[in-house]
Chains A and B, each alone.
Chain A
Amino acid sequence: MVPLSWYLIFSAALFSIGLFGALSRRNLVAILLGIELMLNSVNVNLVAFWRYGDVTNITGQVFTIIVFAVAAAEVAVGLALVISVYRKRNTVIADEIDMLKF
């Protein structure tokens, strides 16, 4: 049986990689990719705690479903903003989008 700590270390590594992507990439779409990785690592944690706790208590899986819905909403709004910014400014590089009003 795989120990619980392996899942937790795996999800910590996935979260850190996503954090690096969200902090260091220049392209707005790439920043959203990093955020997706972080949300996925949270899901791994939730499901691992469900499996290694009381399996009849289904809370971990329910909250994974909620995180799925929130991630879908976040991606839809985020990518709509990126496309809107690209139409107005012709760039998706985060450092070049520095005006408060256009």
Chain B
Amino acid sequence: MTIDKIIFLIVAAGTLIAALRVVTTGNLIHAAFWLIATLFGVAVIFAVLHASFLAVVQVVVYIGAIAILFIFAVMLTRKDMRDQGPQLNRNWGFGALLAALAFVGLALLVHGWSGVTKTASAFPSGFDAVSALGNALVSPDAYVLPFEVASVLLVAALVGAVYVAYNRK
């Protein structure tokens, strides 16, 4: 058992426990804070995979913007900070069964796939993943079109969000 395996197991276990708390805890503010813990765990997984830029973006965009937006939405949609009544609906048993089936199916798929024994190759010398990513995002023969479409989507979503949530009174 090498050191990177131990780090991965600790981070993965912590992330999964935090994710379970997100979907089971009764208090919604606590669920949002557990979501921050989960997102941070995923950022550490990105760092373990040598995707340093994505690890930073995960912390800045997901934790810094999306999780904070969730906390604001939780606080804006209640008069009383306590949550009354059950937090799971009547059919939660079916939901749990479906989730378990999805996990078993995905695990069997991974188990039966021959490419899963692939090992990670070392980075070629002189290869910089961050500059390669930046070049790919703006180069016309790579991904400039999806990149621009994503920015148009973001603008449309923000204008739509302001319109939908605008208080006309």
Chain A interface (Cβ < 8 Å from any Cβ of B): 1-10, 12-21, 23-30, 32-34, 36-37, 40, 43-44, 47-48, 50-53, 55-56, 58-59, 61-62, 64-66, 68-77, 79-84, 86-87, 92, 94-95
Complex contact A58–B99 (CB within 8 A): no
Total chain B interface residues with beta-carbon distance under 8 A: 92
Given A8-B106, A15-B102, 14 other A-B contacts at CB below 8 A?
A: A12-B110, A14-B19, A16-B100, A23-B92, A24-B89, A33-B22, A50-B49, A62-B143, A65-B137, A73-B157, A82-B77, A84-B165, A86-B77, A94-B89
**Interchain CB contact under 8 A, B150 and A83:** no
A80 with B48: CB separation less than 8 A: no
Residues of A within 8 A of B119 (CB): 1, 3-4, 52
- Residues from chain B with a CB closer than 8 A to the CB of A52 are 118-120
What per-residue 1/0 map shows which CB atoms of B39-79 lie under 8 Å from chain A? 10010011011110110011001100110011011101110
CA distance A14 to B105 in the complex (A): 14
Question: Given A3-B117, A19-B98, do A51 and B49 touch, yes or no (CB 8 Å)?
Answer: yes
B85-120 Cβ-contact flags toward A at 8 Å (1 or 0): 111110110111011101100110011000111111
Q: Determine the distance from Cα of A68 to Cα of B59 in the docked complex, in whole angstroms.
A: 11
CB distance from B87 to the nearest CB of A (A): 6
* A40: B residues at CB distance < 8 A: 38-39, 42, 62
- Highest count of chain B CB atoms <10 Å: which of A52, A74, A81: A52
